[in-house]
Chain A
């Protein structure tokens, strides 16, 4: 045999030293005769020591000594062993024992190749922990799709797998799923993900996102696939809930009887519902994506968007349809919460045409009812007046027959009173029964109040009643001056009458006009006889009067009708023998719009 070249000897020596696994040469007494650096890195200097002492810290040879077996049969063998390094730490090794033969074929030594498995073991442990603890169902399936291994979460829910198919466990199926991701992974060796609907043990639907990955063996063949199933049932329910909520919202908006517009921060229409299409008589595609056409809204858009907030009530305005028709509407606007900073808003518009018609019909019906009531009450009122006239004639003629002047005067006064009553009744009745609407125009309320107060001043002075006024020059308002005149005249006349019957030494009537929170308030107070409970209850009843033959029982009724036509209210406070205050309140926002030119000039 040719001697080996020198480089080869050197190379083998270097390889022995530098190879990244521990190598030790052990004699038949199991004493280490030589080892390389990697061995020393793990176990320290070991030459001359028995291998069981150097590598495992033992005091006697191992019972399952691989080296002795190899010395006996010359076979190469390997095993994973747990050793101890010089610091006392456990180390995991793969030990391979190879016989070293001499020329005669005997085995004086064995070589021990020691590969450190500690890092691999740690990884294995980590992998195991991850596999166990990951919060989704992790299973390993074989080529028959039987679950051979499952993690903690799976076992908790489905129990220990006993070789069932994954489709049996997850879906209660008898056969493989058509869209099996594990099958695809077996075919192409890649990962696959898909959504699946399974059945829980309680029989309810469960939604999973399933990912598969190949577990490749050393020969490159995929024998097992790892399946990770994430339960997204809750998420799925939330999603379904969201879809339902969205569908509901869309349906509500679309089918709302009110026109709804949603605007973006540039005030462009982003949504218009069916009622909006109908209201403007425009296809919604001509509305959406642009700003509202000019004049489509009878007020400024920003004004409409402010309406309906807590501070301001809804706004009554008009819209103009595509054909130019004006439609009265009630508008509410409000800002919409948006995820980004850009503000957007919504407008809700109610078509008031039908309501206006109903309001008119209601007014007509009320007037008809009032006329009915009037006729019934009228008969009673007139009969009382006729009885008064009859009585007046009886007393007068009796007085004349006896030459009793006092009785003649008494009868004559009865006649006068009842004739006056007939004429007042007819006048008020006409005013009350007239179906005409007030003719509001822009007036200074203070002017009318001053005028009416002046008319009564002389009468008040005659009866020694102090008529005082406190008239604030409130801003002009749209009111029917004649109506206001009638109301105030009725109230002052009533107040004077109340003073006349009270017999107080000092009688006073006070008229006050002021503005209060956007309302025009007109008050007439007196310190006259006041009203008791019975009278208060009947104050607004037609033909009820406390003035006997002096009243028609229509004044307050007429006053209330006029005030209501102005969108206002009549209230009063009264105590018997103390006095009465009547208060007319006209909220400015409810005043009727001024009539530019009345149908008739009076």
Chain B
């Protein structure tokens, strides 16, 4: 099993409106030794994140329509969570589209395009937590 280097498990929050995606990501990350919190409603996200204090946020950017994006903007402006790296989960084909959508906000730590598979998910999470872009390319 891939264990993170620190003794304390790293904390990852996943925000997506797809229950199956949440289940999959949670199990894959927990198997890899991370502490995981999942949120399916964007309205509940902030309070969960404030309590959980994640080291990384995985955010479905199109969760329903643009709710994910406005949540991202809120996160960036948050006093306690503003510095937390965010990895975008996106069903969009071109990352340019997302770049366009996030023009106003700071770019995310990286993108993870759906459909997701476990190895690329874990690789991206590890990269971002190590201070990289989370972007394989």
Interface residues of A (CB under 8 A from B): 379-381, 383-384, 386-392, 394-395, 398, 407, 410, 414, 417-418, 532, 534, 538, 541, 544, 548-549
Of the candidates A380, A384, A534, the one having the most CB atoms from chain B within 10 angstroms of its own CB is: A384
Q: Which of B43, B62, B92, B115 contacts A387 (CB 8 A)?
A: B115
Of B20-28, B46-54, B101-109, B127-135, which binds chain A? B20-28
* Interface assignment of B2: CB less than 8 Å from any CB of chain A: no
Query: Complex formed: what's the CA distance from A389 to B114 in Å?
Result: 12
Query: Complex formed: what's the CA distance from A392 to B19 in Å?
Result: 12
B19→A383 contact, CB < 8 A: no
Contacts of A534 in B (CB 8 A): 42-43, 64, 67
* Interface assignment of B6: CB less than 8 Å from any CB of chain A: no
Query: Complex formed: what's the CA distance from A407 to B118 in Å?
Result: 16
- Least CB distance from A415 to B in Å reads 10
B23→A538 contact, CB < 8 A: no
Query: Complex formed: what's the CA distance from A392 to B64 in Å?
Result: 22
User: A391 — nearest CB in chain B belongs to which residue?
Assistant: B24
Please report which residues of chain B, range 49-68, place their CB below 8 angstroms from some CB of chain A when the two chains form the complex: 62, 64-65, 67
B116→A387 contact, CB < 8 A: yes
Query: Complex formed: what's the CA distance from A503 to B43 in Å?
Result: 21
* Interface assignment of B18: CB less than 8 Å from any CB of chain A: yes
Of the candidates A383, A386, A414, the one having the most CB atoms from chain B within 10 angstroms of its own CB is: A383
* Interface assignment of B91: CB less than 8 Å from any CB of chain A: yes
Interface residues of B (CB under 8 A from A): 17-21, 23-25, 27-28, 31, 42-43, 62, 64-65, 67, 91-93, 113-118
A391-B24, A538-B65, A544-B65 are contacts. A380–B92 as well, Cβ < 8 Å? yes
B43→A548 contact, CB < 8 A: no
- Least CB distance from B15 to A in Å reads 14
B64→A417 contact, CB < 8 A: no
User: A394 — nearest CB in chain B belongs to which residue?
Assistant: B118
B91→A398 contact, CB < 8 A: no
Query: Complex formed: what's the CA distance from A392 to B118 in Å?
Result: 11
Contacts of A541 in B (CB 8 A): 64-65
- Least CB distance from B24 to A in Å reads 2
A538-B65, A544-B65, A549-B19 are contacts. A394–B114 as well, Cβ < 8 Å? no
User: B97 — nearest CB in chain A belongs to which residue?
Assistant: A376
Query: Complex formed: what's the CA distance from A407 to B91 in Å?
Result: 27
Query: Complex formed: what's the CA distance from A394 to B92 in Å?
Result: 23
A390→B24 contact, CB < 8 A: yes
B18→A548 contact, CB < 8 A: yes
A387→B20 contact, CB < 8 A: yes
- Least CB distance from A416 to B in Å reads 11
Contacts of B19 in A (CB 8 A): 548-549
B28→A384 contact, CB < 8 A: no
Closest 6 CB pairs of A and B: A391-B24, A386-B115, A388-B20, A380-B91, A383-B114, A383-B91
Contacts of B25 in A (CB 8 A): 391
Contacts of B64 in A (CB 8 A): 534, 538, 541, 544
Name 18 A/B residue pairs within 8 A (Cβ), A-sorted. A379-B92, A380-B92, A383-B113, A383-B114, A383-B115, A387-B18, A387-B114, A388-B18, A390-B24, A391-B28, A394-B24, A394-B28, A394-B118, A395-B23, A414-B23, A417-B20, A418-B20, A544-B64
Q: Which of B18, B27, B43 contacts A384 (CB 8 A)?
A: B18
DSSP class of A's interface residues: helix, strand, loop or mixed?
helix
User: B113 — nearest CB in chain A belongs to which residue?
Assistant: A383
Query: Complex formed: what's the CA distance from A518 to B50 in Å?
Result: 55
Q: Which of B20, B31, B43, B114 contacts A398 (CB 8 A)?
A: B31
Contacts of A538 in B (CB 8 A): 64-65
User: B93 — nearest CB in chain A belongs to which residue?
Assistant: A379
Q: Which of B24, B65, B114, B115 contacts A414 (CB 8 A)?
A: B24
Q: Which of B17, B20, B91 contacts A379 (CB 8 A)?
A: B91
Query: Complex formed: what's the CA distance from A532 to B25 in Å?
Result: 27
User: B67 — nearest CB in chain A belongs to which residue?
Assistant: A534
Given A407-B27, A549-B18, 19 other A-B contacts at CB below 8 A?
Answer: A380-B114, A381-B91, A383-B91, A384-B114, A387-B18, A387-B21, A387-B24, A387-B116, A388-B21, A391-B23, A391-B116, A394-B27, A394-B117, A395-B24, A538-B65, A541-B64, A544-B64, A544-B65, A549-B20
Query: Complex formed: what's the CA distance from A326 to B18 in Å?
Result: 55
Query: Complex formed: what's the CA distance from A395 to B31 in Å?
Result: 10
- Least CB distance from A29 to B in Å reads 135
Of the candidates B19, B24, B67, B117, the one having the most CB atoms from chain A within 10 angstroms of its own CB is: B24
Query: Complex formed: what's the CA distance from A394 to B119 in Å?
Result: 10
A379-B91, A383-B91, A544-B65 are contacts. A391–B43 as well, Cβ < 8 Å? no
- Least CB distance from B40 to A in Å reads 8
Query: Complex formed: what's the CA distance from A380 to B65 in Å?
Result: 10
Contacts of B17 in A (CB 8 A): 548
Query: Complex formed: what's the CA distance from A418 to B20 in Å?
Result: 9
- Least CB distance from A114 to B in Å reads 120
Contacts of B18 in A (CB 8 A): 384, 387-388, 548-549
Query: Complex formed: what's the CA distance from A384 to B113 in Å?
Result: 10
Contacts of B93 in A (CB 8 A): 379
- Least CB distance from B120 to A in Å reads 10
Contacts of A381 in B (CB 8 A): 91
User: B60 — nearest CB in chain A belongs to which residue?
Assistant: A384
- Least CB distance from A394 to B in Å reads 5
Query: Complex formed: what's the CA distance from A395 to B19 in Å?
Result: 14
Contacts of A379 in B (CB 8 A): 91-93
Query: Complex formed: what's the CA distance from A418 to B24 in Å?
Result: 13
Query: Complex formed: what's the CA distance from A548 to B63 in Å?
Result: 12
Q: Which of A390, A395, A407, A544 contacts B115 (CB 8 A)?
A: A390
B23→A410 contact, CB < 8 A: yes
- Least CB distance from B68 to A in Å reads 12
- Least CB distance from A386 to B in Å reads 4
Contacts of A380 in B (CB 8 A): 62, 91-92, 114
Query: Complex formed: what's the CA distance from A398 to B65 in Å?
Result: 33
Query: Complex formed: what's the CA distance from A398 to B91 in Å?
Result: 25
User: A386 — nearest CB in chain B belongs to which residue?
Assistant: B115
Contacts of A417 in B (CB 8 A): 20
Contacts of A398 in B (CB 8 A): 27, 31
- Least CB distance from B94 to A in Å reads 11
Contacts of B62 in A (CB 8 A): 380
A395→B65 contact, CB < 8 A: no
- Least CB distance from A548 to B in Å reads 4
